[in-house]
Amino acid sequence: MDAIPYNLLKADFLKRCTEQFSAAEQEKIHQALEFAQAQSEGKYSGSGEPAFQHSVAVAAIVAFDLNLDGESVTATLLHNLKPDELLRNTFNDSIFSLVVGLQKIIEMDTHTVSVNADSFRNLVITLAGDLRVVLIKIADQLDIMRKLEDVNHEIVHKFCIETRHLYAPLAHRLGLYTINSELNSLVIKYLEPEAYNQIEAHLESTKGIRDTYIEDFIRPLKKILNANGLDFKIKGRTKSIYSIWNKTINKGITLDEVYDLFAIRIILSSPIQSEKADCWQVYSLITEKYPPNPERLRDWISIPKKSGYESLHTTVLGPGNHWIEVQIRTERMDRVAEYGLASHWKYKGGTETGKLEKWLADIRAVLENDTLSIADVLDALQTESIEEEVFVFTPAGDLKRLRKGATLLDFAYSIHSEVGDHCVSGFINGKKAGIRQKLKSGDRIQIETAKNQRPKADWLHFVVTGKARLKIRTSLNEEITREAEKGKEIIKRKLKNWKLEFNNETINMMVRRLGYKFGKDLYYDIATGKLEPLRIKAILTKPPHDSAQPESPAAPIKPLNPSFDSGDTLIIYENMSNVNYQMARCCNPVFGDKIFGFITINQGIKIHRNHCPNAKQLKERYPYRVVNAQWNRQENTSAFVVTLRISGADELGMAHRITQIITTEFQMEMQEIKFNSASGRFHGEVKVWVKNLDHLARLIENLKKIKGILNVSRVGER
C-alpha cells in the first residue's frame, strides 16, 4: 500500500481519537502511528495485509469498540513490532510491558493448546500479565479473522481453531458477547462455507419481509410503552449466522424451522433504583399484547450472569403466529452487555487509570490461580466490580483502597497473603480490633499475626474483597490436600499392618461403603480424626450390606458449640459461621417458621420446616440425625427465597398487577416467574425473597385481594 492511503488511514483514525482521548493521549497515539509506520515497512499481518494497516485497524477496535484507554491504543499500534531498546526508550514502561505481553502471545505455538480447561487456563495466564493484553489480542484476532478470504487454507484453519477454542470463549468469559458472536460466525464462514452461504442467502432473501414484520411487531408496543410514560428505545436485530447455524446443528432442524431468526431489544432509560421494577413492568405490558412462551422466560436481572450480564428475555407469539424473542434491559445493563468487563471503566469517565490498573492486577491474580474451580474464579471476578470504596492507611502511612464493607482481615490480605493467613487481630487508630471489624475511610491499621493461625472456612462469610476470598479458598484447599496426604499415608500403614492391600479397588469400596464422594474426603477425615481407622477395618473384613443406604462416615454427633443452647437446640442466627448449615430446598424455611435440623452426611445440617413434606419420613427413618432448632430471637435482616403458587382467572393485565405488588409495593426481588393459562384460568409460580414469616403473610394477603385471584399458597406445605 502506498503513502497516500496510509496518510488517509492515519488522518481518519486521528480525527476519531480527538473525540475520545485527552491531548496528552492523542500526542502519544500520534507518536506511535509515526513510529509504527516507519518500523513496519515490509512487514505483514497473519491475514497477509501490510502490518501497519492491520495495526491501525486493530487500534480502531480497541479504541472505539472496546473503549480502552490511550495507553492500550498506543500499545496496539506497536503490537507487531519487536519490543527492543528503541521502542523501550521511545515509550514508557507501561506501554513497553503491554507490547512485550502481546509479543509473547504472537510467538506462542498454538498447536500445543488443546480445548481442555487446563490448557485454556495456561493460555489465560500467559495473556494476563495485564488484562488489557487479553482484550487487545482478542481485537487482533477479530481483525485477522475478518480478512482471511484469500489466505492459504492451512493458515485459515490455524486461525479458526485458535478462535473457536481460545479467543471466542475468552471473549464470552469477559462479557464481550457481540465480538464472541462475530468470531464464531467467521469460524463458520471459513470452516463451513456451504452452511454459511446458505444461511446468508436465506437471510438476504427474507430481509424485506423480516424488516416489515419487525416494524409491524414494534408499532403497537411503542404505543403501549408511550402510554405508560416509559422512556425507551426499541431495536430489532437479526440473530448472528453462528447462532442460527448452532440451532440447526444442535436441534437437527432446517432453516425454515428456526422460528426466532430475529430478536427485539427494548432499552429503558431508568434510574438505578427502579431498574428491575421498570423491566418487569415492560414485561407485563408486552405479554398483555403478545402471549408469552413461559418455558422461554430468562430472568437475568434478579440474578445476573457471572460476567455481570443483566437482561430479561422472553419469547412471545407475534402476528402470524411467529415466535419473537424480546430482550428487556436498561441503558446501564445494555452497556455491560455490549462492553462486558470493559464497561466498568468506560463509564467512570475514563480518567481513573490507577483504579483501573489495580482492578486489572486483581483480575490477573484470579485468572492465574490453578487451585480453584471455574465457579470460584467467576465468583471472584463478579465480586470485584468497581463500587464505593474506603481509603485506609498502613502504619507507615501508605494509602490502601478497599471495597466498602471491608474488614480488618480484608486489609491484612491486601498487604500480603501470608499476613492474611496468619492474622489474629489488629489495631485500628490505636485501639484493639478483631478480624471482623469493618473499616472506615481514614482509619490507620496495624495487623497482628501468629504462626499457628490458619485460615478458617467461616472467614469466607465476612470478607468482602475478591483477593481475600480467593486467598482463603486457596489456603483451605491446600490445607485439605495436605491433610488428605497425611490420611492417605495413615491408612496405607494400617492396611499393611492388617495384611490388606492398598489399591484402587479397596479405596473405591471404602468410599462407596462409607458414603463419601471422593477418596480425598475419606483421607481428610482419617487425618483429622473424624473417621477411625478401626471402622475401616471392620468394614473391609465383613460382608457388604444388601442395603443401598451407605453407612455414615462417623457416628452421628450433636455438635455442642456456641450456636447450640444448653438443651442441645441449634440456634439459627445471621452470619452464623461455626456450624455448617443450609436451608433445605424442599421446603425453603423462612425466619419465623417452626424448624428442625437434619444432619446430612456431606452437606452439613439442613434446616427444614416442621411442616416440610419430607419431615415425617426424616424423623421416622433417621431420628438420631434430627436436632432441635429455632431462630435467634433478635431481629433478622437476611432474605429467604419462597415459592408461591398462584391461580385465578386469566384476565388482561393479571401478570402486571402481580409483579407490581411484589416489586413496587413490597419492594421484593423476584428470582423467577412462570405462568401457564388454559380455558380462561391461569396457574403460576413466583419465587420471591422475603424477610420473615410476617412479611410473607402480608404479601400473600395482598395478592389474594387482586380481583380474579382464586388461590395463593406457599409451595412446600403438607
| Tens digit of each residue's pLDDT (9 = 90 or more) over 486-541 | 888 888 888 888 888 888 778 877 877 777 767 788 888 888 887 888 777 777 77
Q: Is residue 559 part of a domain?
A: no
Residues 180 and 206 in one domain: no
Residue 225: pLDDT band with limits 50, 70, 90 = very high
Q: Is residue 443 part of a domain?
A: no
* Amino acid letter, 69: D
Q: What backbone phi and psi angles, to 5 degrees, belong to 686?
A: -130, 125
Between 352 and 505, the more confident residue is 505
Residue 576, pLDDT score: 54
Q: Is residue 416 part of a domain?
A: no
In this predicted structure, the answer to whether residue 350 has a pLDDT above a threshold of 70 is no
In this predicted structure, the answer to whether residue 381 has a pLDDT above a threshold of 80 is no
C-alpha cell at 605: 445440617
Range of the structural domain that residue 282 is part of: 200-342
Residue 561, pLDDT score: 37
Most confident stretch, 278-292, 389-403, 703-717: 278-292
Residues 184 and 204 in one domain: no
Residues 111 and 145 in one domain: yes
Q: Is residue 457 part of a domain?
A: no
Q: Is residue 250 part of a domain?
A: yes
Lowest mean pLDDT among 287-291, 345-349, 697-701: 345-349
H/E run at residue 211: helix 207-227
In this predicted structure, the answer to whether residue 667 has a pLDDT above a threshold of 80 is no
In this predicted structure, the answer to whether residue 264 has a pLDDT above a threshold of 60 is yes
CATH number at residue 705: 3.30.70.260
Residues 151 and 289 in one domain: no
C-alpha cell at 702: 395482598
150 in helix, strand or coil?
A: coil
In this predicted structure, the answer to whether residue 450 has a pLDDT above a threshold of 60 is yes
Between CA 40 and CA 51 the distance in angstroms is 6
Residue 32, pLDDT score: 92
Q: Is residue 367 part of a domain?
A: no
Separation in Å, CA 295 to CA 251, 298, 305, 674: 17, 9, 19, 8
Residue 421: pLDDT band with limits 50, 70, 90 = very high
CATH number at residue 30: 1.10.3210.10
Residue 556: pLDDT band with limits 50, 70, 90 = very low
Between CA 100 and CA 109 the distance in angstroms is 16
Domain boundary (342, 363, 379) is at 342
In the Cβ-directed half-sphere of 142, how many Cα atoms lie within 13 Å? Answer: 26
Between CA 40 and CA 1 the distance in angstroms is 12
In this predicted structure, the answer to whether residue 356 has a pLDDT above a threshold of 70 is no
Domain boundary (631, 653, 674) is at 631
CATH number at residue 213: 3.30.460.10
Residue 568, pLDDT score: 56
Residues 208 and 277 in one domain: yes
Lowest mean pLDDT among 15-24, 81-90, 209-218, 509-518: 509-518
Residue 132, pLDDT score: 83
Lowest mean pLDDT among 101-115, 241-255, 352-366, 613-627: 352-366
Between CA 418 and CA 475 the distance in angstroms is 10
Mean pLDDT on 691-718: 84
Residues 158 and 289 in one domain: no
Residues 595 and 682 in one domain: no
In this predicted structure, the answer to whether residue 195 has a pLDDT above a threshold of 50 is yes
Residue 3: pLDDT band with limits 50, 70, 90 = very low
Between CA 248 and CA 238 the distance in angstroms is 16
Q: Is residue 467 part of a domain?
A: no
| Domain tally, the chain | 4
C-alpha cell at 468: 481475600
Domain boundary (172, 191, 210) is at 191
Residue 254, pLDDT score: 66
Lowest mean pLDDT among 13-17, 236-240, 274-278: 236-240
Residues 574 and 674 in one domain: no
In the Cβ-directed half-sphere of 382, how many Cα atoms lie within 13 Å? Answer: 15
Q: Is residue 378 part of a domain?
A: no
Q: Which residues pair with 629 in a beta bridge?
A: 570
Alpha helices in 422-543 (DSSP H): 466-497, 504-514, 519-527, 533-540
Residues 163 and 31 in one domain: yes
Between CA 488 and CA 522 the distance in angstroms is 9
Residue 438, pLDDT score: 92
Residues 168 and 253 in one domain: no
Most confident stretch, 490-499, 579-588, 623-632: 490-499
H helices then E strands: how many in the chain? 28, 19
Residues 232 and 328 in one domain: yes
Separation in Å, CA 277 to CA 221, 330, 700: 18, 11, 19
Q: What is the pLDDT of residues 97-153, one digit of tens each?
A: 899 888 877 776 565 544 443 444 444 444 556 778 888 999 999 999 999 988 888
Residues 98 and 231 in one domain: no
In this predicted structure, the answer to whether residue 671 has a pLDDT above a threshold of 80 is no
Q: What is the DSSP letter of 661?
A: I
Mean pLDDT on 452-478: 86
In this predicted structure, the answer to whether residue 355 has a pLDDT above a threshold of 60 is no
